[in-house]
Amino acid sequence: MIQKKYQGLAWPALISGQLIKRYKRFLADIKLDNGQVVTAHCPNSGSMTACSEPGQRVYLSSHDNPKRKLKYTWEIIEMPNSWVGVNTLVPNRLVKNAIENEQVPELAGYDAIRPEVKTAGGSRLDLMLQRFEKDTCFIEIKNCTLVENGVAMFPDAVTQRGRKHLLELERLRIEANRCVMFFLIQRMDAEVFKPADHIDSAYADTLRRVHLDGGVEILVYDVYMDREYIRLNRQIPYQL
pLDDT digits (tens, 9 = 90+) for 2-47: 556 788 999 999 999 999 999 999 999 999 999 999 999 999 999 9
What is the rounded average pLDDT for all residues in the chain? 95
| Confidence grade of residue 1 (pLDDT, cut at 50, 70, 90) | very low
Beta bridge partners of 193: 152, 238
Mean pLDDT (whole number) for 194-200 = 98
Q: What is the pLDDT of residues 60-84, one digit of tens each?
A: 999 888 888 999 999 999 999 999 9
Beta bridge partners of 39: 29
Mean pLDDT (whole number) for 48-52 = 91
Domains of the chain: residue spans and CATH: 9-84 (2.40.50.580), 90-235 (3.40.1350.60)
pTM greater than 0.85:
yes
* 69-98 burial: b if 16+ Cβ within 10 Å, else e: eebbbbbbbbbeebbbbbbbebbbebbbbb
H-helix or E-strand spanning residue 204:
helix 201-212
In this prediction, residue 4 carries a pLDDT of 63
